[in-house]
Every structure is written in structure tokens, then in C-alpha cells.
Amino acid sequence: MRQSYRFTGLRIVGLLGLLLSMMLTLVSPTIAAQPAGKPLVYPGPVSVACVSGTATVSVPSDTTEDGIFYVITQPDASGNFQVTAQVGDAYYMAGTPGNGWTATNNWNAVYTGVAPDCSAPTGPTTTQPTTTNPGTGPSVFALPLDCGTAPYPAPSGSNVGSVIGFSNYVLTQNGVAHTSGNITLTQPNEVLTLSFDWDASTYVQPGQYFVFEGPLDSSGNKVFSSPKQWFPVWNHTGEFQAGCASVVDGDITVQFTSYVTNRWALGGSVELELELARDQSVESTTVDFSFDDGSTFSITIPGKPIDLFGKRGWFNRDDQGIEQPITSIRWQIHVPANADGYNNLVLADIAPAGNGWSFSCAGPAATSTMYNATAADGSPVHLDFSEQCSATAMTLTVARVPANTTVNFFFDADISSTAEGPFYNEATASADNLNTVPLDYEVRRTKGRGVADGIYSVTPQFPSITHAACVDEVNDTWIPAKVVLPTGPDGVSYVMTPNPFPETGGYVKIVASLDEGYYWANDISGWTFNESDNTMIYEAQVTNDPCVIETVTPTPDYPCVPPTPEVCIPTPTPEGENPPGEGTPTPPPCVPGPTPTVPAWCLVTPTPPTVNELPKTGGDQGSGNSTLIAAGMLAATVIAAAGAVTYRERTR
């Protein structure tokens, strides 16, 4: 900013400045390099989230510190949206703003995109702050919500089953793993555990899902069945839910959460307890089937069950048709038929200390023991028994169980723990004609579990650059150059050269490197990839525009004309004063007047001013500035013709 004076020279400078501006406009691109004195501004990232079923676009808050403000045009019916960023008069928009922005001129940038379809229910919809996974370390947006309670909502995204591969199928029977071959069951309803791996061949997005459909037998019927259930698919550290699994009719649907964002090579495993779907038969049967990786199995199902004492348990949930006022487990003790029956049958059940549950007879869901007893012909049998129950022990005593009578006792337990489990149960059965039989069992909140994880890809962030600039030449206000390294994302570290960065600006080089467990994202703009050491490099010239102060000596309003010396003219002798005959009269002595004083401004010879500018850095200091300096010298010469101007510059 320069103070104006009313004299002809400045008007000439104004005309020359206008002429130079027109010349530079003709030879400059639409988006010029940063002009001296105005720091560059980089707009922040744009994010889109589903909020209450509507796609909502958001940007960083407007601030006066970075001189930028935004205008958002929210998505239309097709999902198209646009955001514009504009900087204030004291700033200029960066020519390559990054973060998906495109600069349209020195003051504006635009961002366009297509929002996801948020009309369908998505389950998790709110975004939480960034948290850190202490496993391999990737930082992710925390889950919008955890999978919640059963039942989970139906998937809202697209089915990406075409990019999911399944492999490593294992069927486990009583702790023995089978990858193929023959398996013979001991009971028609014996439980097997199926596990398999899955892998995605590309990136997947939150809300997308895949479905694992169980194998079919040679008749096209499902081989396995499993209770309807829901369970979370955890990441490898067990801290974040990467997916939500639903089991319906033996098929497993896994919907991905926001944990998968920016992860590739995503994969995991699923494990589920299953029973054979085939109805019991009097005769032994064999089921042959195979999985899509070529592994084949043959399962033999016994025709006549081998009836033994047994213990089972399951969670009471609405989907099982049993309602309890609080979360509870229903335990079952099975008493097989015996040709002689049982005398003084005692069933003793113990709740292990610290296992997170207690018998309901002493809790808010207090219930009495239930039973059903059937004779060999299927007719009901009445039993008399006594119950002794406390929070930690349940004892049932039956004086007599008739011959060939099968009995099942049921009683409930309250769960005080929120853990997944397992919850153990230790029971025994004894009678006068029966040695003690141990009956142990454990249950989990679900019969399935899964894990999922992937390699986290990251994009380096741009540094914050302040160019050295004179913001007020009248008051000699100058701001120093400054480069501030980014602080994110997690997994990326930065090294700057030179460090510390000089206040007068100059060349800066920033090297971004990865922590272990991270990979660079695809299509990173504004950075140069160094293949030799897997780093990203950012280079820039930080400019300096020093303050130039003008001191002007005003020109007087009247011209400088040196005074003419006084002429001495003799005073004539009055007529008649000279004596007659004395010849020509002699003039009296001439007394000179005072010596004229020459004005000070007449003693100064105007000379063209000299401007000593510091070297400026940056890509905009080429031939265009040489023209400007030459024109400035011409303008200074013209000014000198009208008045004396002295320049001085602050040395930074």
C-alpha cells in the first residue's frame, strides 16, 4: 500500500502500471503463480455421510485465519453435488489445491462428486471421531455404530459376492478337523463346526455385503442348518467391528462397516456351528457334498440315536421363541430312557464363580424348573421332584423315574456379563443304579464368529505454507515465511528440508514415509512417488515480498527561477546643482542592494531513485518480473523529473 501525493509523476506511474498490467495479462496463464504479498490457500477435504437417510456434504468450518470460505450445493436427485471455495482479498488460491479440488482462478476452486444412495436404511449412520487401532496401527473412522442387538437391519449396499473368494473349508467334529473325506456322526443331531476363509479381490465399501450359501447335496437340498442368529465380525485385534453377520436358513450374510474404508487385500474367516438339515431316519444315511474349492465330504448319519445323558444350553432370544424379562440362558439336562428306570436320581448343577451368570431362581427372572417326560410310546409321564436353588447351585431330586421314560429338565440363568462368552456350566447326574456322570457345557451369545481385516492405504496430506509478504508498506508490516508439516493421517511421517525453514522463504522439500502395516493409496496427486525407498516427495518454492518504503520530497507549487542580481543605476543630479563650467557631472556612488537568497529546492538536482530488492523465490519470478523492473526504472525516471523520491527497504 502506497500513500498518494498530488503531483504529475504519480499519475504517470498509474498509467504505466495499467499498461504493464495489461501486458502481463496477455502473457500470463489464467491461474498465475502466487503474486507477491498474498499467501496461498489450500481448501480442506470434502466428506459425504448419510444422516437420517439423506446424503449430506460437509467441509471444514470457515475461518478468517486461513482466509477461506465455502459454498455447498447439496446432492440433487441423482446424487450430484458441488462445493466452491473462495479466498479473501489478502490470499490467493493454490494452483494445485489437492484433496480433489480444481482451481478455477486465483480466488476460487471447485469440487464435484456423486453422493451415495442413503434412501435405504443403513443401520449405522453417524460418524464418530477418528480412533486408532493399536494392532497394525491403521487409523480409521470409528464405526458409525456397532452391530447392535439382534436382529441386524438388512444390508443397504450392493452385493459384492462376485469379488469374494472362499477357501480352506474345515469341518470339525469333537475337536478333530476334517478338510475332506468321511465323517461319521455319533448322533443324528450332533453339532459340527464349519469354518472357511474369504478374500476380496478389490476395495469394498461400507454397507456392501456378501452372502455365503451353504453346500447342497446331490438332490439340491441344503446339507446344514443353523439357528437364526447375528454376530459381529471383528478385526484381528478384536477392538473394531469390521462387519455384521446374519445367519438365516443356514446362509451367512456379512455386511461391511466403515472399518473397511481405504483398506485393500481385505479378507477374514467365519466359523459357525451347524447341524445336519436332514430329518432323522430309522436307517443310517450318507450325505455327499462338495464346496466350491473342490473339497468333497461324505457324512454318515446314524439311523437310531444313541441315547445318553447330556447337557445343552442356549440364549433366550425372541428369535428362538422364548422371551425373558432380562438376558438369560436356558440350560437343559437330558435323562435318557433306561429299561429299569432310575431310583433317587440327583441332578446337581453348579454356576462357576466369576463366569458372569447365576441361576434365575434367585434373580429378577425367577422361574421354576420345567420338564417334559415321555414314555416309549410318546405319551406324557408325570414326575414328582424337588428343587433346591440358589444363585450358584441348582439341585433336582427325583425319587423315581419310571422305566423306559425319557426326561428333559429346563431351568434358566441370569447373565450379568456383557461378554460374548463362553459361559460354562458344570453338572452331574447320579442315582442308586447309576454311577456319577459329568455333564459340562458352554454357550456363547452366538454360535458363529468371524474376523476380517485388510491393509490400510493412506494419502499424504499437504503442508500448510505461509509465504513471506509485505501486508502493509505504509506501516512496514511484514509476515515471515512458514511451513507447517501435516499431523496426519496415522501411519505417515514427514521430514522437511531445510528445517527449521527460513523466514525469508526459499525451496522446501518434504519427504513422506510409511509406518509398518500401511500402503500408499492409488492416484495420489501433488506428490511424487520415489520407488527406490517407497516415499512420497513434495517440493515447493516459498516466496518473499519485502516491504519497500517510499519517502517523497514534495515539489513546490511555483517554479524555481534563480534571482537576478540588482542593477545599480546612478541617481541623476538635479538640474542646476552643478557649478557652471565644471563639465560633466559625476554620479554619486552606487550602493548595492542585499544579496539575493537562492531557495533550497533550486540547489537540488533530481536523480533517478535506486530500488534494491531482495531476491524473490518461486516460479513466478521469471522474465515477466524483468519487464516489470525495467518499466519500474522508467517510471522512476519520470517521477524524478517532477520531484525527488527516496526509497528504502527493510532487510529481512
Lowest mean pLDDT segment, chosen from 171-185, 365-379, 532-546: 365-379
Question: How far is residue 346's CA from residue 348's CA, in Å, rounded to a whole number?
Answer: 6
336: buried, middle or exposed (CB in 10 Å: 19+, 13-18, 0-12)?
A: middle
Express each pLDDT in 579-618 by its tens digit. Answer: 555 555 556 666 666 666 666 656 655 555 444 444 434 3
Selected residue with higher pLDDT from 455 and 140 = 455
Q: How confident is the model at residue 407 (pLDDT cuts 50, 70, 90)?
A: very high
- Judged against a pLDDT cut of 70, whether residue 168 lies above it is answered with yes
Q: How confident is the model at residue 651 (pLDDT cuts 50, 70, 90)?
A: very low
For range 288-303, the mean pLDDT: 90
Express each pLDDT in 447-471 by its tens digit. Answer: 677 877 777 778 899 999 988 888 7
* Backbone CA torsion sign across 231, 236, 238, 240: negative
In the block, cell 492409488 appears at 522
Burial 188-212 (b: 16+ CB within 10 A, else e): bebbbbbbbbbebeebbebbbbbeb
Give SS3 for 259.
helix
Closest-CA residue to 490 (of 458, 537, 531, 449): 458
Cα separation values, 330 from 172, 253, 359, Å: 25, 27, 10
For range 543-547, the mean pLDDT: 84
Express each pLDDT in 16-70 by its tens digit. Answer: 444 444 443 443 334 444 445 567 777 877 877 766 567 788 876 654 445 677 7
User: Quick one: pLDDT at residue 346?
Assistant: 95
| pLDDT over 90 percentage in the chain | 23
Q: Is the peptide bond before 498 cis (omega within 30 degrees of 0)?
A: yes
Q: How confident is the model at residue 343 (pLDDT cuts 50, 70, 90)?
A: very high
Mean of the per-residue pLDDT values for the chain? 73
- Judged against a pLDDT cut of 70, whether residue 155 lies above it is answered with yes
Q: How confident is the model at residue 324 (pLDDT cuts 50, 70, 90)?
A: very low
Closest-CA residue to 204 (of 454, 449, 451, 525): 454
User: Quick one: pLDDT at residue 453?
Assistant: 76
Region label for 250, one of left (φ > 0), alpha (ψ between -120 and 50) or beta (otherwise): left
CA dihedral 208, 214, 216, 220 (to 10 degrees): -50
Q: How confident is the model at residue 254 (pLDDT cuts 50, 70, 90)?
A: very high
User: Quick one: pLDDT at residue 581?
Assistant: 57
Find the angle CA(186)-CA(190)-CA(191) to the nearest 5 degrees: 140
User: Quick one: pLDDT at residue 590?
Assistant: 62
Which are the contacts of 418, defined by CB distance < 8 A and separation ≥ 6? none
Q: How confident is the model at residue 209 (pLDDT cuts 50, 70, 90)?
A: very high
User: Quick one: pLDDT at residue 18?
Assistant: 41
User: Quick one: pLDDT at residue 647?
Assistant: 38
Report which listed range, 246-250, 321-325, 601-605, is most confident. 246-250
Q: Are 379 and 369 in contact (CB under 8 A)?
A: no
Report which listed range, 16-25, 109-118, 331-340, is most confident. 331-340
User: Quick one: pLDDT at residue 586?
Assistant: 59
| pLDDT over 70 percentage in the chain | 65
Selected residue with higher pLDDT from 26 and 414 = 414
Q: How confident is the model at residue 577 (pLDDT cuts 50, 70, 90)?
A: low
How many contiguous H segments (helices) and E segments (strands) does the chain have? Answer: 2, 45
For range 562-574, the mean pLDDT: 58
User: Quick one: pLDDT at residue 392?
Assistant: 87
What angle separates helix 8-27 from helix 623-642, to the nearest 10 degrees? Answer: 170
- Judged against a pLDDT cut of 90, whether residue 8 lies above it is answered with no
- Judged against a pLDDT cut of 80, whether residue 384 lies above it is answered with yes
User: Quick one: pLDDT at residue 22?
Assistant: 45
Phi, psi of 629 (to 5 degrees): -65, -40
Cell numbers at residue 207, please?
Answer: 454397507
Express each pLDDT in 423-446 by its tens digit. Answer: 888 899 999 999 999 988 877 766
- Judged against a pLDDT cut of 70, whether residue 266 lies above it is answered with yes
Lowest mean pLDDT segment, chosen from 443-447, 506-510, 620-624: 620-624
Express each pLDDT in 357-372 by its tens digit. Answer: 888 875 544 567 888 8
